[in-house]
Amino acid sequence: MNIVFKILSAIFAFIIAVSPFGNKTEEPKCKPEFNGTFIQSWLSSSWSDEQWQSEIENMQDAGIEYLILQDVANKAYKSSGGGWSIYYDSDLDVFDGATVYNDVIESALRNCSGTGIKVFVGLAMFDDFWTEGAITGQYAEMCDVASQMVTEIYTKYYSRYSDCFYGWYFTPEFNNVLTCQVNISGMSRGLNKIIDAINSGDADMPLLLSPFFAEYLANTHTGTLVNLVRLLNSVNFRDGDIFAPQDAIGALWTSSKNLDKTWKMYSQAVKACDADLRLWANCENFCIAIAKSPLNGILTRPTTENTAYVTSTLDRFVWQMEVASKYCENIITFSYNHYFSPDQVNSAFINTYLDYVDNGYVLECERPAAVRELSKTQTDVGVLLEWKESTDNFGIAYYRIEKNGKFLARVEMISGDEELVYSDSLGRAEDTYSVTAYDAAGNVSETVTA
């Protein structure tokens, strides 16, 4: 079908879908739960087999069927030397002089073999992608390296781990920012080189991509849809390849009000592709940390109260999956291993999630108890707040502190046993402080004031 006709048809269908006439109730295409997770190589490169097996047992308990290794080769920013770091045993000339870490491909495949977990192996990434996108020669060079990696990795590992070596992950997260939009043909050529390499091994192994949509200083939904249709029809995708966009809620590239619209855009793009692409959702289960600035929420992503990357409470994450389930046939997440695993973070999050699944996709709504014995002490360096923990049926995610009725800080329960104190260097004895507990489901306690 002529590409112009495909684009016009996709635009028309999208306009209808987002109009009041298209706001019909969508029947879910999948359950609002995830069964796959991304894991970054730096997290697992030092794991022993015992640690891997503990993590795999955790993943099985959570219903994980797919493990997606992110890049196993990364090229640093040119400004910092442009050196490669690799996470597998490679003989490629391009990696001569690279910093070599433990082989995460071998470890993941060896430990997943026989467990039923299917592994996608991520390929190459270059840090300058975030500023250059596909407009410089580095993108083409990276795709060339990735195609060589496909041949090498398939040869080294597939025959030994064919039961769990399932597919490939294209690591660059292409998006609607100008640096990715102006060179659709170049992006296509790079992807086609990688697909050619996959086909030379086992053409049945799917390729997974996970792009994202940015609302700030980037192309509109309609403009992005046009370029997605162009891209998806100029790449030699095979039936069964997987298009798994990030919902970008955790990273705040997409606002809550536009999430449904964004999934409608992706759905129309996939429908316009000649290949039978599978539409999956990558629902983000974290909260990014963004400091306050005058442009937050206008030209840049809005500010957050948290000052570190933290796990999202389940009320938000469940809503994300419910929206995605209307359009996608499967849901994966970034990332169970980083933000849900009881070996990495507060177990309240995964326990709350498992209860949600076991309870027929109904999130628990029991409020945590109020904090106890909140006190404030004037010191030489301000005011020191101390309190005793709140109790909850699954556990506390964080405590929110206000000063004189305005937000002051959050105390995150990353491991669940952090010290319950906060020091306000600008505090005075006459200031009023209040503390509220939030559990992993997002339920809120009564507020206690001192």
Q: For the chain, how far is it from start to end, CA to CA, in angstroms?
A: 69
Contact 139, 186 (CB under 8 A): yes
Environment class of residue 54 by beta-carbon count within 10 Å: exposed (0-12), middle (13-18) or buried (19+)? middle
**What residues does each domain of the chain span?**
3-358, 372-449
What per-residue confidence (pLDDT) applies to 297? 83
pLDDT of residue 415: 87
CA separation for the pair 88, 224 (Å, rounded): 35
Tell whether domain 372-449 is in CATH 2.60.40.10: yes
Output the six-digit token pair for 233. Answer: 């029809």
CA distances from 440 to 138, 354, 401 (A): 42, 12, 17
Q: Structure tokens of 49? A: 């087999």
Q: Between vectors from CA 65 to CA 61 and to CA 71, what angle results, nearest 5°?
A: 115
The pLDDT of residue 345 is: 97
What CA dihedral angle connects 256, 260, 264 and 265, to 10 degrees? -10
**What CATH number does the domain located at 3-358 have?**
3.20.20.80
Name which of 284, 272, 277 is nearest 309 in CA terms: 284
pTM of the full predicted structure? 0.96
Calculate the CA 172 to chain-centre distance. 13
What is the number of residues in the chain?
Answer: 450
With tokens 């977990």, the residue in question is: 117
SS3 of residue 220 by DSSP: coil
Contact 282, 334 (CB under 8 A): yes
d(CA 66, CA 44): 16
Mapped onto helix, strand or coil, the DSSP state of residue 95 is helix
Identify the pLDDT of residue 1.
64
> Which residues, at least 6 apart from 4, have a Cβ–Cβ distance to it below 8 Å?
none
Instruction: Return left, alpha or beta for 185; rule: phi > 0 is left, psi -120 to 50 is alpha, else beta.
Output: alpha
Tell me the residue ranges of DSSP E strands in 343-391: 372-379, 382-388
From CA 327, how far away is CA 317, in angstroms rounded?
Answer: 16
User: Which pLDDT tens digits describe the chain residue by residue (450 residues)?
Assistant: 699 999 999 999 999 999 987 767 678 999 999 999 999 999 999 999 999 999 999 999 999 999 999 999 999 999 999 999 999 999 999 999 999 999 999 999 999 999 999 999 999 999 999 999 999 999 999 999 999 999 999 999 999 999 999 999 999 999 999 999 999 999 999 999 999 999 999 999 999 999 999 999 899 999 999 999 999 999 999 999 999 999 999 999 999 999 999 999 999 999 999 999 999 999 999 999 999 888 888 889 999 999 999 999 999 999 999 999 999 999 999 999 999 999 999 999 999 999 999 999 999 999 999 999 999 999 998 999 999 999 999 999 999 999 999 999 999 999 888 899 999 999 999 999 999 999 999 999 999 999
CA distance 111 to 96: 28
Residue 152 neighbours by CB under 8 Å, 6+ apart = 90, 91, 92
- Written as one letter, the residue type at 339 is Y
